[in-house]
Amino acid sequence: MASEPTQPVAFVRKASGLRRDVSLLDVVSLNLSNMSGGAALGVIGFTTVLLSSMNGVNLVYGSILAWLLSIPEIIVYTMMTTRVSRTGGDYVWVSRVYGGFFGGPLAFMGYTLETMAYMALIALAAVVSIGSVGVSLGYSNMLPLALPGNIPGANLAGQFAIAALVFAVLIAINVFKPKWGFKVVAIAVILAIAATFVGIFALLAAGTTGVQNYMSFLNSIGANTSYTAIASSYTGSTFDFGATIFMLPFFAIFVYPWLNAGPAVASEIKGKGALRYNVFISSFVTLVVVTGAFAAMYYAGGFNFINGALGNANLVYNWSFNFWTLAMGVSPASPAIGGVSIVAGFIGLGWILWNVAIIAYAIIVLSRYLFAQSFDRFLPEKISHISPKYGSPTVAFLINLIGTIVLIGLASFFYGTLVSLYGAVVAAMIYFIFVGIAAVRYALKNEKGQSKAILATAGILMTVVFLYITGQFLAYATIWGGNIIAYGWVVGSFIAGIIIYIVSKSYYSKRGIDITLAYKELPPL
């Protein structure tokens, strides 16, 4: 008797193989790391020093404005995550709305490969934080690690080696002990936030006198400037809307748009409450942390001094001036261990841990995007393989490791500064435009009544916000990292995504599998 024809299957298998082990703390920690508040506070000077003027730039108001503009996105991600709670998060609903030919390459460009560039940026920022903390604690021989690569004296080989090593160690943890990966993120981000608040309180307690004393100390060891000179160098107003909104791309690079970490592991989250509230909780906590840190800087140093210092190349490059170094500088000298202030040491550790948490989160979340794209057969099926021994997507992690270390090397040796990677983030801004449009299309097709109106309106507003941010990125490319490596990565990743989709569709078609079927239904849990 002839055998019956086999039914073509849409997905690689009937279940993902991932486990529902992610708690509210885990998922909020992922989102907090994704929003990268601590990194923003550490590299703010590398951005502001590139501006033609700091006149009217108010970072407190800028943070608040950026958060307010992210509210439509908060609504979109909250609503869509509760409706499409699958591994890969926005990739799943974007690809189901647009189809595989456009939706697949769009997500591949906008998050998968963009995140590799961002991880390279943060890995180098972690090295800068290690070097800067060392210098702040009195170890001047660590300055070559703190200097951006485009500044004479920077140790490019050392920066690359340390960044690559940190990244490789975190990859290994996620491969061999996947549960530890989540715990590393949670522990690192909790300690980092605690250190941020210690830094805030140190600035509030020290006040202007503490900042003046810190500047006198820097002057005594070669800074060749003073509090009065820096403060008097700034003559602008305390707030100009145009100048402040100009900083929106900075907050977009690091902070408020990055709400998709929790949704990306949605199928692994335990409890409906964690699924529903993780995005808002993470965003609001980040608002408090980032805005509070900038406010504490203005309170202690005075607006004129802080804006003058953030625009001063000598302070930013040679003395790593930012929230973290200022908070360490004004911290009490005692209690101390081995001559190092415990308070300053803890603040410095928090800065380093912020970067560790960001890298650790990104490793986890990027692997889920790779996994989801493989599950749809957009990427090779092997990538969605879950190791039976370790319970982790080992091939996805290996791809992540190779791609990110290559980018770390390119940024270190060819472009010489982590800011050169800013431009690659425009891929995510473009992606978020289409995420907003996808939310509108989903609402019109699947929602009714009030939910339909809310989701559609939020999607439209989100689209408008990211159209503006993308325009700013491209219009002021010299500030926001516009260069061949960044833009080439963006364009190349989209083209590569299209080619991959066409090749994959052809490959599976010859084997009797139509991969377009996957984009017509949701993948299994």
- Report the percentage of the chain scoring pLDDT > 90: 56
- pLDDT at residue 3, rounded to an integer: 44
Any idea which residue has 């950026």 for tokens?
Answer: 66
**Per the domain annotation, does 284 fall within a domain?**
yes
Give the model's pLDDT for residue 417. Answer: 61
Packed helices 394-410 and 342-375: angle between N→C axes, nearest 10 degrees: 120
Higher-scoring residue by pLDDT: 12, 428: 428
Residue 131 has pLDDT above 80, yes or no: yes
Residue 13 falls inside a structural domain: no
Domain range spanning residue 123? 24-520
Where residue 2 falls among pLDDT bands split at 50, 70, 90?
Answer: very low
Mean per-residue pLDDT of the chain = 89
The Cα 154–Cα 145 span in angstroms is 6
Residue 305 lies in a domain: yes
pLDDT, residue 180, reads 86
Q: What is the pLDDT of residue 6?
A: 47
In this predicted structure, the answer to whether residue 232 has a pLDDT above a threshold of 60 is yes
Which 8-state DSSP code applies to residue 109? Answer: I
Residue 20's pLDDT is what?
66
Higher-confidence position of 273 and 63: 63
Please state the domain count of the chain.
1
- Count CB neighbours of 87 within 10 A: 26
Neighbours of 284 (CB within 10 A): 12
Mean pLDDT across 127-134: 90
pLDDT of residue 303: 98
Average of per-residue pLDDT across 2-24: 61
What pLDDT, in 10s, does the model give residues 324-368?
999 999 999 888 787 788 999 999 999 999 999 988 988 888 888
Q: Poorest-confidence range of 110-124, 186-200, 201-215, 492-506? A: 110-124
pLDDT value of residue 273? 85
Q: Is residue 5 in some structural domain?
A: no
Burial class (CB in 10 A: 0-12, 13-18, 19+), 442: buried
Task: Give the pLDDT score at 1.
Answer: 42
Indicate whether 51 belongs to any domain: yes
3-state class (DSSP) for residue 473: helix
Tell me the average pLDDT across 506-518.
90
Inside any domain, residue 378:
yes
Whether 7 is covered by a domain: the verdict is: no
Cα distance between residue 289 and residue 68, in whole Å = 15
- Give me the CATH number covering residue 223: 1.20.1740.10
Residue 179 falls inside a structural domain: yes
